[in-house]
Structure 1
Amino acid sequence: MTAQPFTQSLSFSRGQSPMTLADIYQDEINIAIWERSLHPELVRAVSTILTSTSTLNLACTVSVSNCVDTLTKELGGDAPAHRLARDIGNLVDMYCCLFDLDVVALRLTKLDRAMCPKFHVDHVPARLVTTYQGVGSEWLENWAVDRRRLGRASAGIPDDQSGLYGQHHDIQKLVAGDVALLKGERWIGNEGRGIVHRSPAVADGEPRLLLTFDFTESDEAS
């Protein structure tokens, strides 16, 4: 399929209710964003976890029934670990319910630099992304993207010089607490139209805590 530049057929949805995430099933929606505020107790728990560990790169497959216990143990077994694990458990429940899944491929990572600094698309059906602390992910509305400049087609030229997008103010940003569903290339009927996004630059001394969910390989194949 040949990528088309600056098409306007895709859009986004955002709102302060978790029900907004269900909008990802609409054909024209490429990213659905639940704008939520983190509870102060959760914010303190996350801060405690990040200051107590130099590295955190947790990748595991969890179900609704075992998520909280698994993550509490992996994060140290104390009260802050349990508080964060309970919040993640709620998100796992929502993700599994929304997509009729039994398990979720989960990754929880402390970042002190941009993990994927160039704009790209994900070759997945639908990825959940949320940042518990630090700057949020960046994305582009479909009308602002020339997909012919993605990946190798940019010939190594930085995104802000390659013509991938027009102006810096075209870049949209999530904030800490936002829960976003990003429709990828493997969503049925979305080939060549996955949401274009990237990791943000991370300032010194201001690490991110990033959580992502994906389908497992068996779910993608079914």
Structure 2
Amino acid sequence: MTQLNDHPLSSVTPLGNHAECLTEILRNDVNLAVWQRNLSSCWQSFINEFCVKAGNLERFTRLEIGQSAALALPSWVLAIEGANHWIDDVDQLVDMYQCLFEPEAVGLRIHVLQQTMCPRFHVDRVPVRLLCTYRGPGTEWLPESLVTRPTDGGPLPKQSAQPAQVRQIPTNAVALLKGEAWEGNEGKGLVHRSPSPNGSPRLIIGLDWLSS
């Protein structure tokens, strides 16, 4: 596992080729942990067909322990060859998220995007969010040393980082992004944004910590 040093507020960003690196998000000085994975040929044809047929799609489902991501998908998606392999992967990510944080339930979002969803740098008002981009460019983020924070508790101001300074989560990597609602992380959430799809649809999932 490697670590990128930035700033005392978020002094390291753990990057690793094994899922265990995601546990580093529990550290007070970590706002982002990334598990880098290779693309799977088992999913590729399914993902391409799914994105072409879906156009723009947004699905949200509350998953209790033991429930499958298949609940979030319409029947036509489940009928695409290879859907079961991709759903198995998403289910594994849901299981990992539940084991790591023990939420009452997990909120699963599935997006197929033809346009940029959140083009402005922002922070999330959640404890911690899991993101995985299966197709297209991954989420962009800023090292803490380049972030301009509000001085009065107001909204995050426009960021002045240059394009070359913006970092990007690799496609198919699993990332945990710490938000503003994490205890002790108020005013310190990871600053990130959605990239441009560059003419090709993106497929991205997000997992959130839900309570009753």
| TM-score bin (small chain) | 0.7 to 0.9
Structural mapping, 1:87-126, within 5 Å: 87-126=89-128
Judging changes above 3 Å, is the alpha-carbon distance between structure 1 residues 166 and 48 closer, same or farther for their aligned structure 2 residues?
closer
Structural mapping, 1:1-222, within 5 Å: 8-10=8-10, 11-71=12-72, 74=75, 76-78=77-79, 79-148=81-150, 152=155, 154=157, 159=158, 164-204=159-199, 206-218=200-212
Amino acid at match of 1:16: N
Report if the CA contact (8 A) 1:48-1:80 is conserved. Answer: no
Alpha-carbon distance, 1:73 to partner: 5.3
Aligned-CA RMSD value: 2.2
TM-score between the two structures when normalised by the length of structure 1: 0.84
- Provide the residue aligned with 2:3 in structure 1: none
Alpha-carbon distance, 1:101 to partner: 2.6
Report if the CA contact (8 A) 1:71-1:81 is conserved. Answer: no
Amino acid at match of 1:216: L
Give me the whole-angstrom Cα distance separating, in 2, the residues matched to 1:190 and 1:104: 21
Report if the CA contact (8 A) 1:75-1:81 is conserved. Answer: no
Judging changes above 3 Å, is the alpha-carbon distance between structure 1 residues 55 and 153 closer, same or farther for their aligned structure 2 residues?
closer
Judging changes above 3 Å, is the alpha-carbon distance between structure 1 residues 67 and 147 closer, same or farther for their aligned structure 2 residues?
same
Q: Name the stretch that deviates more: 135-144 or 40-49.
A: 40-49
Give me the whole-angstrom Cα distance separating, in 2, the residues matched to 1:84 and 1:203: 24
Give me the whole-angstrom Cα distance separating, in 2, the residues matched to 1:34 and 1:153: 27
| Long gaps (5+) in structure 1 | 1-5
Report if the CA contact (8 A) 1:130-1:212 is conserved. Answer: yes
The count of residues paired between Structure 1 and Structure 2 equals 204
Alpha-carbon distance, 1:185 to partner: 0.4
Alpha-carbon distance, 1:174 to partner: 1.0
Alpha-carbon distance, 1:104 to partner: 0.6
| Long gaps (5+) in structure 2 | 1-5
Judging changes above 3 Å, is the alpha-carbon distance between structure 1 residues 72 and 121 closer, same or farther for their aligned structure 2 residues?
closer
Secondary structure of the residue aligned to 2:177 is strand
* More helix per residue: 1
Q: Name the stretch that deviates more: 73-82 or 55-64.
A: 73-82
Amino acid at match of 1:28: D
